[in-house]
Amino acid sequence: MIAFWPKGITAKIGGYSKQVGHVMDFMNTFIELAGAKYPANYNGHAIQAGSGVSLVPSFKGQVVTGHEELFNEHFGARYARVGNWKLVSASNDSTWHLFNLEKDRSETNDVAAQEPLRVKELEGLWREWANTHSVLPKPKPKKK
- β-strand 45-46 against 69-74: which pairing, if any? unpaired
Same domain? For 122 and 82 the reply is: yes
On whether residue 137 sits in a domain, the answer given is: no
pLDDT: which is higher, 18 or 40: 40
Q: On the CB side of 100, how many CA atoms lie within 13 Å of its CA?
A: 9
Residues 48 and 98 in one domain: no
Q: What is the pLDDT of residues 45-56, one digit of tens each?
A: 998 888 889 999
Domain-located, residue 142: no
Q: How many domains does the chain have?
A: 2
pLDDT over 90 at 117, yes or no: yes
pLDDT value at 106 more than 80:
yes
φ, ψ at 69 (rounded to 5°)? -130, 140
Domain that holds residue 116: 69-132
Q: Is residue 140 part of a domain?
A: no
CA pair distance 79, 136, nearest whole angstrom: 14
Q: What does the alpha-carbon distance between residue 73 and residue 88 come to, in Å, rounded to a whole number?
A: 10
Based on the fold, state whether residues 77 and 57 are members of the same structural domain.
no
> What's this model's pTM, rounded to 2 decimal places?
0.76
Same domain, 38 and 80: no
